[in-house]
Copies of this chain bind each other. A is one copy, B any other.
Amino acid sequence: MDKLLMLPGPTIVPSEVLLAMAKPTIGHRSKEFGEIFYDTIEKLKKVFITENDTFIVTGSGTATMDMAISNIIKKGDKVLTIITGNFGERFANIVESYKGKAIKLEYEWGDLAKPEDVKEILDKEEDIKAVTIVHNETSTGARNYIDKIGKVVKDYDALYIVDTISSLGGDYVNVDKFHIDICVTGSQKCLAAPPGLAGITVSEKAWEVINKNENEKVGFYLDLKAYKKYLEKKQNPYTPAVNLIYALNKALELVLEEGIENRVKRHERLAKATRAGLEEMGIELFAKEEARSITVTSAKYPNGIDDKLREIMNKKYNIVIAGGQKHLSGKIFRIGHMGICGEKEILATLSCLELALKELGFNIEGSGVEKAKEILSKL
């Protein structure tokens, strides 16, 4: 039986996207492919809500996080890395891998960043080249307010780099309005395409920095300048994942058909139902209330319950949920409700979770699925 993916990525890929992907491969330098490729980028720009240059890279979201840093910094450059979880840390690791200096603004996992803290560091520290932030931390189920942080960063020279890998197409992202200089995303989260493609947008302000950086070691495969040069002829510099482009094009078509506003509302609605359902059962949510993500819900394992819960969910009920990362391993579980997830998936997940918890001897307080239904019928 097919597994129901309730992960914070990869998410359920609609059959029509899978079938679009299975069309015969064509030449990546053909005019025909050029049209599809360019159209996919145009659609992605609409989802990013940007006029900035936008590129699709064959690779994971991390490939574009790498590009966002490697194309702008040289040895010793300072980058303010806002850290609210595992992926915020990844930006700091990337900065350090390129011998940059990561100035870490760290918060407890599950919390969110405060604009005033960002302002304080930008006022105090000179020559900060960029500020990085992760919109939605799948590792903690918490989200940052990238609009508010953007309002702060725009008044400084620093570039504003935002990871919307697990939020674009599910939570509200507006690259131009939020003053984002480099925005990165992945195909396999809220966009509901298969993994293997990543997106990146580049503002004029970012290009100025990139072009000045040309004497530095920026590598080859991830060199943004090559992508810009080839996009002029509607091509990719290196052979792109042709069939994944078919899939992403179809997935973006579905996003735009639903409409971004509607899609964000759907994610909000499902998040509220999931949270209320879990709390009704007597399960404590992990992320701070003001920080809670609308694409993934994190919750603490109750006393005596551990990853065995996930095993039962997977083996017996064919529903895949995620565990905790790093120090949260064995302490929390995470339910992704992103992409094409709907009521039936959430209600099935909460129902089976109740069965699995009961099997493990947990005394469920109230019916989570009834509570979720109540919320869904009202919203």
Interface of A with B (CB < 8 Å)? 2-3, 5, 7, 9-13, 18-19, 21-28, 30, 58-63, 65-66, 69-70, 75, 93-94, 97-99, 186, 188, 194-197, 217-223, 237-244, 247, 320, 322
Please tell me if the beta carbons of A194 and B60 are within 8 angstroms of each other in the complex.
no
Interface centre among A62, A93, A223, A243 (most CB of B within 10 A): A243
Distance of A242 Cα from B188 Cα, bound (Å): 10
Please tell me if the beta carbons of B195 and A28 are within 8 angstroms of each other in the complex.
yes
- Closest residue on chain B to residue A30 by CB atoms: B320
Please tell me if the beta carbons of B217 and A320 are within 8 angstroms of each other in the complex.
no
- Closest residue on chain B to residue A188 by CB atoms: B239
Please tell me if the beta carbons of A60 and B239 are within 8 angstroms of each other in the complex.
yes
Chain B neighbourhood of A11, CB < 8 A: 25
Chain B neighbourhood of A223, CB < 8 A: 97
- Closest residue on chain B to residue A6 by CB atoms: B27
Chain B neighbourhood of A220, CB < 8 A: 62, 65-66, 69-70, 93-94, 97-98
Quick one: which of B10, B21, B60, B237 contacts A221, CB cutoff 8 A?
B60
Nearest Cβ in chain B — how far from A73, in angstroms?
Answer: 10
Nearest Cβ in chain B — how far from A80, in angstroms?
Answer: 18
Chain B neighbourhood of A322, CB < 8 A: 27
Interface centre among A11, A28, A94, A241 (most CB of B within 10 A): A241
- Closest residue on chain B to residue A31 by CB atoms: B314
Distance of A12 Cα from B26 Cα, bound (Å): 8
